[in-house]
Amino acid sequence: MFVSQNDTNMKNKNYQITDLEKDFAINHLGKTRDAFVNKVQNLKEDEWYHRPSPSQWSLAECADHILQTELYFFKPTLDKMLSAPPDSDKQKEAIGKDTAAYASMEDRSYKLKGKPWEEVFEKKIDKENLIQAFVTKRNEMINWVRNTDEELRVHFTYFPGLETIDAYQLVLFVSGHTTRHTEQIQDIIDSEFFPKS
């Protein structure tokens, strides 16, 4: 589960997200979850492991990257942010970046290089287990967003291109990352050399 502050102080509503913001994040996380699952769940094995070129990911590797990044980057980053002391002085640095948080990740004209732990080519990736693990973790995040009273607007991290973002914006960033690679999967499916049924 996600880290929560264990203090007994009253939460400052100015530092929490609104019900509208909460609903937007929940809907966005759910929509991107469903789009990804619908895109990969019926793929056949030769399609799942199809690699467009020696230097490109297969569909299985794109899907695995989505899950591994949520497990080993996004979740630990969010936990670390919420464990740090709140810093209201930095709030002005993140104001107005909510849309940019997911839109920048969905913009595939900006390329990011994967981390070494993400670059394990040719491994077997069980599609059903991956989907189940992804849905479980995504639903955990959705439920956490639904129930949290954390002061998400005063916990921050740095990300290239966006600079300072708050914890709510990181949640939207997670959702945008799913869209980014779901679209990459669609591009592979639409490619000339993709196995045709």
> Hey, what are 72's tokens?
């080993």
**pTM higher than 0.85:** yes
Average pLDDT of the residues of the chain: 89
pLDDT at 138: 97
C-alpha dihedral (20, 26, 31, 32), degrees to nearest 10: 120
pLDDT at 111: 61
Grade residue 117 by pLDDT with cuts at 50, 70 and 90.
very low
Three-class SS of 74-139: HHHHHHHHHHCCCCHHHHHHHCCCHHHHHHHHHCCCCCCCCCHHHCCCCCCCCHHHHHHHHHHHHH
User: Of 9-13, 63-67, 129-133, where does mean pLDDT reach its minimum?
Assistant: 9-13
pLDDT at 110: 61
pLDDT at 100: 95
Q: Is the pLDDT of residue 176 over 80?
A: yes
Delineate the domains of the chain, giving CATH numbers in brackets. Answer: 22-190 (1.20.120.450)
pLDDT at 116: 42
Q: Say how far apart CA 34 and CA 30 lie, in whole Å.
A: 6
User: Of 49-63, 67-81, 84-98, where does mean pLDDT reach its minimum?
Assistant: 49-63
Helix (H, G, I), strand (E, B) or coil at 166: strand
List pLDDT tens digits, range 125-172.
999 999 999 999 999 999 999 999 999 999 999 998 899 999 999 999
pLDDT at 167: 98
8 A C-beta contact, residue 127 and residue 59: no
pLDDT at 112: 60
Q: Say how far apart CA 129 and CA 157 lie, in whole Å.
A: 31
Q: Is the pLDDT of residue 35 over 70?
A: yes
